[in-house]
Chain A
Amino acid sequence: MPLAAAQAGAQVALADESLRLTGNGAPTALVQAVRGSASITLFPATVAAGCYADHWVALAQPARMTKMRAGAVVFATGVIEQPAVFRNNDLPGVMLASGAARLAARHSVAPGRRVVIIAANLDAYVTCLELHARGVRVAAIVDLRTAPESDAAVSACAALGLLMLRAHAPYEALRGPEGTVAGLMVAPVTEDGRLDGSAPRRIDCDAILMSVGWAAATQLYLQAGGSTRFSEELQQFVPVDSPPGIFAAGRMNGVYDLESRLADGRRAGSQAAAHAGYGTSNGAVVARSTRCPSHRFPIFDHPLAKNFVDFDEDLQVKDLENAAQEGFDSSELLKRYSTVGMGPSQGKHSNMNALRILARFRGVDVARLGLTTARPMYHPVPMKLLAGRSFYPERRTPCDAQHGALGAVWMPAGNWRRPEYYAVPGESRAQSIDAEVHAVRSSVGLIDVGTLGKIEVYGPDSAELLDRVYAGRFSDLKVGMTRYGLMLDESGVIVDDGVIARLGEEFYYFTTTTGGSATVFRELLRLNALWGLDCTLVNVTGHRAAFNFAGPSSRGILQQVTDVDLRDEAFPYLAVRSGQVAGAAARLMRVGFVGELGYEIHVAAGRGREVWKALCAAGAPQSLRPFGVEAQRVLRLEKGHFIVGQDTDGLTDPHEANAMWAVAMKKPFFIGQRSLRILQARGPRQKLAGIELAATAPLPKECHLVIDKGSIVGRVTSVTHSRALNKSIGLAMLSPELAQVGRDIQIRVDNGDLLAARVAPAPFYDPKNLRQKAGAGA
């Protein structure tokens, strides 16, 4: 194969697991020619550990990992010998025959002093002769079949005078005083694998070699996108459909005879070279072998079990049958439930037998079940080969340096770094956060919200798109106004939220959660393409800086640096306006997330710093404080606003989150609408409710459980101490009967104590929203 490709003019890399290139039975002259070819680079002692897109192969060498991008890849990965499954097949001394033969041939190590070979193919007889020639005594060959093939090797074995049993199978390996093999009990077996264990026969031995079949090493081929089918004739999976540039050859391809394998290699080599642009493809397709090298069911029951299928995971036949009985009766489910094939050998010795057991259980052919694809790395790879540069992309807003200069204490938020709070000398963390909250409530505060997702949608169908992807209605939103939007998935679960602003008849600008921006944008692109709407989406998340400038003094201060008329009559609550802020083109949205008069200011990223500086300078006379994520959490919690993903979970629908006000059920369609109708009819499983605790009570933690009559009936999702309210407040997901205002609940904290709390109406602060709407002190 490598020679054929090299002779066509291609540069060839040959990765071989063996320490030395042996050719695996190939003529010596051929091996020498490969070694001597200037166009062939040998990678000895190298494992192809994974195959990725675009012919990218990970080559694990003894000292390094080579990432090889090839023009074409030929998989001549061979077959892996499979064990027989019988009682005590995990004893030391039970071995694969090919392993024993290799030990003897390469290292002159005898597998035992008295050996029994379990046979189901010609390889068993060849191994017998090899071992005999090296002085190893073979006591018996126990052939599962009624008649082995006619072959010189079989005749030669018979001539040795050793015990040769046919239609017999291993019933039980016997344990000696040292815990190793002391003998093998064998019993008659029928063609369909039924063992008659009523009168087993003992054969004394100290090693049991198994030569009952092979599994094609197709995993790398599958990783490369190839597909296989199960060949009943060969009792193995064989390639059927290869993606461009991927080729299979040799025994993995179902071709076993040496001459045929050589021809198949030449065919695959020339095809690979041609695909890579060298020479033309030649060589006819080689017929697959007609002699079956594998037994169809080398698995034998025993009343006392201990017949192991997966040696990594200690799985016996009964474990797999029990899994199938439990309903995990596909190859994928069986793997995940039983963990078969999940050990270090990645199922090399267990997957095939597990499939056979599953097929028997279901009464179907193995071909009906299919093979799972192992994840890379297919072989265990030393950690040292994976060491290297590690990249952890981190996003920083344009004002990152300003935050640092102001004493920001950083916290991760998705892949962003954000100020948790701004440390002030002489203040504790709690004092700083408290002061930041107080500044917003009493005067003015400024927070960098540039991490919010920011998306524009243009075009005649932009309103239609938003009406379909958000639960609310946006086609009737007036130009110059904003509206809160709730995004659901198909099952009606809340997945994101944000503010949608209409900047033109066919132009919207909207925000998403910080963590959801990429996902939302990608999903909207997909849906837009799927629905064929005439609109265009633009993700400007990183290209726009954004700030929330909030507090009762915010309007007066902001007016100093903007040409936008901020008076209520010109710029009412929930309006959006465009204009200049500190000389930069800006979009201003009057929102109320923190519960005060406030403006979200969006400018081009490159202008972010100067706008931040200008706002800080203008606010300084009125004791402006920048505030971080922690203060914002307190502020929003005082207003009872939930955070998607924190106060909601993967099952929370708008009804449970008390957010049906943001849902327009009368719309013809939106994602999640149908599920929401079903969920509404069923009634909520849980309800998000406000809770309050006495100011003197210890503060529970988020995720502490709510207990009622000894049962778990909910959990705390957010909690904080509110200086403005002089009590502790929070949100909790409760069973519906508990989520009634005034209801007393108990929260179990870390030390097991139960804290008393009460369900309370939210918002906790300024419940009529007068401060954010009117902008005056309530």
Chain B
Amino acid sequence: MRYFRLFIAFLRIGIMNELAYRANFFVQLFESVLELGTALAGLAVVFSHTDTLGGWLPNEVLALVGVYFLVGGSIRLLIQPSMERLIESVREGTLDFTLVKPEDAQFLVSIQRVEIWKLTDIFLGLAVLAIALVRLGARVGAIQLMAFAGALLAGGVIVYSFWLILATLCFWFIRVENILVIFQSMYEAGRWPMSLYPSWLRFALTFLVPIAVATTVPAQALAGRLNWQTLAGMIGLAFIISAISRIFWRFGIRRYSGASA
């Protein structure tokens, strides 16, 4: 409960921060629409030359794009700006202020920045998702929706933990802010069905850089292509990677405060 109240406090700050730059909303809207347009155009080009892609129908891939924007927007709303701010604050020395506060540092750094206008990505994603679902017909039932929600949640945890691990690297490597660039292109892999990728790439995108799972598996759930093993595996992965990220974070803090490793 207390964590929720703290999150609201940071959310307020985030909203106020962004309201100070009202122009950002329109820029963000333009940006999001442009990105969505490119994704859809890419889809259109691909499907102008074929009817299925790795066994996926156009509307199933459209659903995937919707999930991609939904998850991507959520990352850009909270996770990414907070992690970027973390990396900055390590460099500036202002992380010390956070460490001196009587709350769990991982929690504080993870919610410290909310870029409220990224909600446009989330809404666009939901819109695309809705359209795709309508087109796919009434094949989506309660079970699919539950699996979808579960996969989405697990995916969110996986992505957050992965981002935290990357950001924690800033305790060792100074120029880690460039991570933004890789994440963008790595995340791109989640826009296409993972079944397309050769097995070694699928492995990498599931276990080494577990981002694509966050989009593909929920989309699979909606398309009715998900089997229980994959969902269970994903949830298990979520538990494991969140534990690893927590341990690594604490290790990083110890390193930062010069504790003997």
Tell whether A pairs with B: no
Binding site for A on B (CB under 8 A): none
Binding site for B on A (CB under 8 A): none
